[in-house]
A = this chain, B = another copy of it.
Amino acid sequence: MDEDATAPAPDDRYARGLEILRVVGGQHDPAVVDALADLAPDLARYTVEFAYGDVYARPGLTWRERQLVTVAALTALGTAPTQLHFHIRGALEVGTTPREITETIAHISVYAGFPAALNGLSAARAVFSEEGAAVEVAADRGPDGDESRYERGLRLLSEIDGDAGHRVVESLRDVAPDLGRYLVEFAFGDIYAGTGLDLRMRELVTVAACTALGTATPQLRLHVGGCLNVGGTREDVVEVITQMAVYAGFPAALNALAAAREAFASH
């Protein structure tokens, strides 16, 4: 991170940003620059310089990862269909598979509800149809042997959140035991057990969605720890949160970073 700490000359930032934007945007979009030229040329320039030239150009995550966390955040927010469309296509442009995209969006059902995930999938359908991209749908998971959904969920919850996840389920026992059961069975036994994304990537998109929502601080803290438990690094977490400054604003990123710092300290 140190070599990044020296700000490059403005011209470099713009050129570097434009180059990235052209890859992510594919041949379909004129640069946002043109679209804003007559109305808000400064913001157009900042989009190129800051969003792409500064943040996207950072070395900490692959472009595939950057696109998936952006798709996760925009799916969770549900307020930017144009940008979600753009970034689903951008995900394809940088080599993400359609299946990774649909798994990421489906994963968000846990964090922002089914309507958010279903609307994200509608956007994906539209993009895939335009691009002729086909989803290789998961083969049926088949019989899970003797493991029930609850057992599978508990196993994954332990792997990801350690004791912390169990404490959440335990704490629900007096007032809402079924909500605890659904958390284990659906969130972990169904969604996290899906084969299309590995656990580290699931935790990165979880951190992105919780950062963007801004209303899931206890869960964000838990899953920052979870990310470290399944192979993610502190740098991964900081990169995802930093990128969210672009897509959800600085308060979202700053408040998430405060939560992440607490999780780092107690890990």
Contact = CB atoms under 8 A, between A and B. Distances in A.
Interface stretch (A23-31, A116-124, A154-162, A225-233): A116-124
Contacts of A108: 249
Interface string A137-158: 1100000000011100000000
B5 A42 contact: no
Interface residues of A, number: 97
Given A7-B185, A116-B79, A215-B214, A250 B42 contact: no
A175 B257 contact: yes
A43 B137 contact: no
A176 B261 CA distance: 10
Contacts of A261: 175
Nearest to A103: B40
Interface string A92-122: 0000000000100110111111111111011
Main secondary structure of the interface of A (DSSP, over half): helix
Given A168-B254, A178-B1, A241-B179, A247 B43 contact: no
Contacts of A208: none
A135 B247 contact: no
28 contacts: A5-B178, A32-B118, A38-B135, A39-B125, A39-B128, A39-B135, A40-B102, A40-B137, A43-B106, A43-B109, A50-B190, A58-B178, A77-B115, A79-B79, A82-B115, A108-B249, A109-B249, A111-B251, A175-B257, A176-B242, A179-B238, A179-B253, A183-B245, A183-B250, A213-B214, A214-B216, A215-B215, A218-B255
Interface of A: 1, 4-5, 7, 10, 32, 36, 38-43, 46-47, 50-51, 54-55, 58, 74, 76-80, 82-83, 102, 105-106, 108-119, 121-122, 124-125, 128, 135, 137-138, 148-150, 168, 172, 175-179, 181-183, 185-187, 190-191, 194, 210, 213-216, 218-219, 234, 238, 241-242, 244-255, 257, 260-261, 264
